[in-house]
Amino acid sequence: MPWNGGKKVWHDQLFALDLSSSDAIWHEIGHLPTPNGYGVSLTVPEGVLVIGGGNADRNFREVFMMTLGPDRKVAFNPLPLLPEPLAQMSGAVVGRHIHLCGGLEKPDAISATSRHWMLDLDAPTKGWQTLPALPAPGRILATAAAVGGAFFIAGGCSLAPDASGKPVRTYLTDVWKFSAGAWTKLADLPRASVAAASPAPVSGLSFFIVSGDDGLQTSLASPADHKGFTPEILRYDITNNKWLADGALTVPPPVTLAAIPWNDGTIFFNGEVRPGVRTPQVFVFHPSH
């Protein structure tokens, strides 16, 4: 484990599952251009956007459109570079616009950015455009959502150096909406949420925070004593600007994972169920249920 001197490892394998077959299994189908984690992955009609991220050595500016041909051959088509290297940021697809907010420029950064960028998929040659920064602390591992033509950011954590210069997290509960060129502060989360699945599952005029690190176990004597993350599901009602408790997971709650829409649900795969412990689990979250 990391607290016993172990080293985190980044991987580059790509796996595919044929969802048209009820008895399908996962197959390794290729490799990323480089081992990578903590970027933003978004599903669009053209393919899967692989945005930024990083590994132990550096964070990345590279952006790719990943596609899978009928022969199962993977292709990576480059898109405009990010304005700066970024990892642990949040992003979502609003119409044909890709919004990114927050993140770290370097793996050892002691503060997070509040900057906000947008890429128009219908005019990619314009590159990443700078939009108004989040008027709040810079953050990492927030949950993004896209609903009704607006971009949302919920929770995450800010960073600041301690007396020895090491980054210390502050868990956040604020929630923001970007629409018509401006940010609006919304009702705070009822609890902190760091690294919940992002982009968030959406149903109608609601989006969901599924689990997340609530910060209640940060003072443990050892990370080995961690009991796992909260199973609680929160629903944000956009119409009434209100947060509601809306059930709980019945599987080990994962954090630090992407989620992808599929049919009437959202597929959750992999993630971390305790500090240093990853999971291979895959399940579908059905908001309407």
Other beta carbons less than 10 A from residue 61's beta carbon: 16
Instruction: Tell me the pLDDT tens digit for each residue of 55-81.
Output: 999 999 999 999 998 888 999 999 999
Per domain, the residue ranges of the chain are 10-285
The whole-number pLDDT of residue 71 equals 84
Output the six-digit token pair for 38. 């903590």
Reported as a single tens digit per residue, the pLDDT across 192-247 is 999 999 999 999 999 999 999 999 999 999 999 999 999 999 999 999 999 999 99
| DSSP single-letter state for residue 54 | B
Strands 150-154 and 175-179: antiparallel
pLDDT score for 271? 96
Per-residue pLDDT tens over the stretch 36-46: 999 999 999 99
* Domain 10-285 fold: Neuraminidase (2.120.10)
Give 15's strand partners.
28
Whole-angstrom Cα distance, residue 86 to residue 105? 5
> For residues 69 and 55, is the Cβ–Cβ distance under 8 A?
no
Cα separation, 71 vs 120, in Å, equals: 29
